[in-house]
A and B are shown apart, each in its own frame.
Chain A
Amino acid sequence: GNSVTQMEGPVTLSEEAFLTINCTYTATGYPSLFWYVQYPGEGLQLLLKATKADDKGSNKGFEATYRKETTSFHLEKGSVQVSDSAVYFCALSDGNTGNQFYFGTGTSLTVIP
């Protein structure tokens, strides 16, 4: 079946530190992979996505590369800011199951000045 496993939080970093949030997946087909971000009191919004192996998604300084050989889609940012404090969700969408999305458990990030 399909599933997503992501690093448990919470994660606390100082401003300008390097961020990695690990995400691995299991899928029966050829999924698209996503990172969503949820700021306090808001809904989830797409941060970045990758639709095939070796694609790199990037947005707002965040990056993630679709690695089929390791079934991973780790999120990275070189220098985090206080405004990056949020909950981050890794997700996949498998074309074999139509529009069904599978989410990880979320990783809470707090960036301190």
Chain B
Amino acid sequence: DTAVSQTPKYLVTQMGNDKSIKCEQNLGHDTMYWYKQDSKKFLKIMFSYNNKELIINETVPNRFSPKSPDKAHLNLHINSLELGDSAVYFCASSRASLNGELFFGEGSRLTVL
């Protein structure tokens, strides 16, 4: 069983389109995250949810909207896609404790043409 699973793994789309990436974790964790990894492998936190509530909302365009229907799911919806949105997006989860580690999904590679 995959602990953190995200779909789709690859997404190719045109500028201006709207797309969603889904994430689910079966670890019983309280906190879920979205990270963006650029072509230089730099990892940037976008959002964090704890028990369905938004905790971290870094400076990302408001075209990006996270939605957490329950604490096992955190989806990412992106409106009006731009070329600069091309990246790999990682979902992750952790337990709400000081020493809790992050568990990552396999990533969703988004290519905007």
Residues in chain A within 8 A of chain B (CB atoms):
32, 34, 36, 38, 42-46, 49, 51, 87, 89, 91, 93, 95, 98-101, 103, 105-106, 108
Whether, in the assembled complex, B104 has its beta carbon less than 8 Å from a beta carbon of chain A, the answer is: yes
A108 contacts across to B, CB distance below 8 A: 41
Whether, in the assembled complex, B102 has its beta carbon less than 8 Å from a beta carbon of chain A, the answer is: yes
The answer on a CB contact under 8 Å between B31 and A99 is yes
The answer on a CB contact under 8 Å between A46 and B106 is no
Number of interface residues of B (CB under 8 A): 26
The answer on a CB contact under 8 Å between B41 and A87 is yes
**Would you list 8 pairs from A and B whose C-beta atoms are within 8 A, ordered by A residue?**
A43-B90, A51-B98, A89-B43, A93-B99, A93-B100, A99-B48, A105-B42, A106-B43
B55 contacts across to A, CB distance below 8 A: 98-99
The answer on a CB contact under 8 Å between B94 and A106 is no
Does more than half of chain A's interface fall in helix, strand or loop, or is it mixed? strand
Having A32-B98, A89-B43, one finds 7 other A-B pairs with CB under 8 Å, namely A42-B107, A43-B105, A44-B102, A87-B41, A99-B94, A100-B56, A101-B45
B42 contacts across to A, CB distance below 8 A: 105-106
A44 contacts across to B, CB distance below 8 A: 43, 90, 92, 102, 104
The answer on a CB contact under 8 Å between A101 and B102 is yes
Among A32, A34, A99, A108, the one with the most B-chain Cβ atoms within 10 Å of its Cβ is A99
| Minimum CB distance partner of A98 in chain B | B55
B18 contacts across to A, CB distance below 8 A: none
| Minimum CB distance partner of A103 in chain B | B43
Once A99-B31, A105-B42, A106-B42 are accepted as A-B contacts, the answer to whether A45 and B98 lie under 8 Å apart by CB is no
